[in-house]
């Protein structure tokens, strides 16, 4: 131990510095807030609880069950099954999600969203397993109306509507009267 360190120890320099810092903060404005009565504003594009987007006209899920979101999901927590050409089951194990947002980014149909809801803690794992019904109702609760449309346009591009078919490109057409 050096002489300087010894002197600092004898005269409690570090403790006095700590007390001085505490005293200087005693009369300043508190940085803590009284949650849940007070809340901080949510950052734009916040990634909270998931929702399955609905068509504004038909009120049905936009998801076509292509599986792009499930493929890109690093946590492998999205489970999809299709039947009769439509998505039959779309489920998310929320406890495994890392909120990377890749699922939203990968979806070309703006069919899955991360809402602003962060208050969904619960006592059971089952409550945090998002079934298709729960995900669709999350859309109604947190993203209905213009909010949902703006969410995709503001934070997640490109969307399927951003792509066109270049002039002269060969496209698949259903052959009429094919035998
Ligand atoms: S936010 Fe990331 S981890 Fe969570 S479901 Fe989407 S892709 Fe998976
Ligand atoms: S949410 Fe989007 S990417 Fe995922 S299966 Fe549905 S349509 Fe495909």
Query: Which pLDDT band holds residue 155 (cuts at 50, 70, 90)?
Result: confident
- 136 CB less than 6 Å from ligand 2? no
For β-strands 78-83 and 112-114, DSSP reports them as unpaired
Rounded to the nearest integer, the mean pLDDT of the chain is: 89
* Helix axes of 3-10 and 13-26: crossing angle, nearest 10 degrees: 50
DSSP for 106-149, please give it: H-TT--EEE-S------S-TGGGEE-HHHHHHHHHHHTTTHHHH
User: Greatest CA span in the chain, whole angstroms?
Assistant: 99
Ligand 2 centroid from CA 54, angstroms: 12
**3 exposed, middle or buried (CB, 10 Å; 0-12, 13-18, 19+)?**
exposed
Q: What pLDDT was estimated at residue 156?
A: 79
CATH code, residues 50-161? 3.30.70.3270
- Res. 178: pLDDT tops 80: no
Pocket probe for ligand 1: among 51, 74, 111, 118, the residue whose CB has the most ligand atoms within 8 Å is: 74
- Token duo for residue 117: 């809801």
Task: Report pLDDT for 171.
Answer: 73
Q: What are 74-113's pLDDT values in tens digits?
A: 999 999 998 877 889 999 999 999 999 999 999 988 999 9
Domain boundaries, the chain: 50-161
Average pLDDT over residues 36-40: 92
pTM, full prediction:
0.76
Among the bound ligands, the one closest to the CA of 80: 2
pLDDT reported for residue 121: 94
Give the number of the atom of ligand 1 that is nearest the alpha carbon of residue 102. Answer: 7
Question: So what's the pLDDT on residue 174?
Answer: 66
């Amino acid at each position: 131990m050096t002489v300087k360190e010894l002197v600092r120890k004898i005269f409690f320099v570090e403790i006095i510095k700590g007390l001085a810092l505490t005293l200087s903060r005693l009369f300043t404005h508190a940085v803590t807030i009284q949650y849940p009565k007070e809340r901080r504003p949510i950052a734009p594009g916040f990634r909270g609880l998931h929702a399955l987007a609905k068509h504004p006209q038909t009120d049905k899920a936009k998801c076509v069950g292509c599986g792009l979101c499930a493929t890109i999901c690093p946590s492998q927590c999205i489970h999809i099954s299709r039947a009769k050409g439509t998505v039959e089951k779309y489920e998310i194990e929320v406890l495994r999600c890392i909120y990377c947002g890749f699922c939203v980014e990968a979806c070309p149909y703006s069919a899955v969203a991360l809402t602003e809801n962060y208050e969904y803690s619960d006592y059971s794992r089952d409550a945090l397993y998002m079934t298709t019904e729960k995900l669709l109702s999350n859309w109604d609760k947190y993203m209905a109306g213009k909010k949902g449309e703006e969410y995709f346009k503001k934070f997640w591009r490109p969307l399927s509507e951003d792509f066109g078919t270049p002039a002269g490109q060969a496209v698949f057409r259903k052959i009429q009267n094919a035998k």
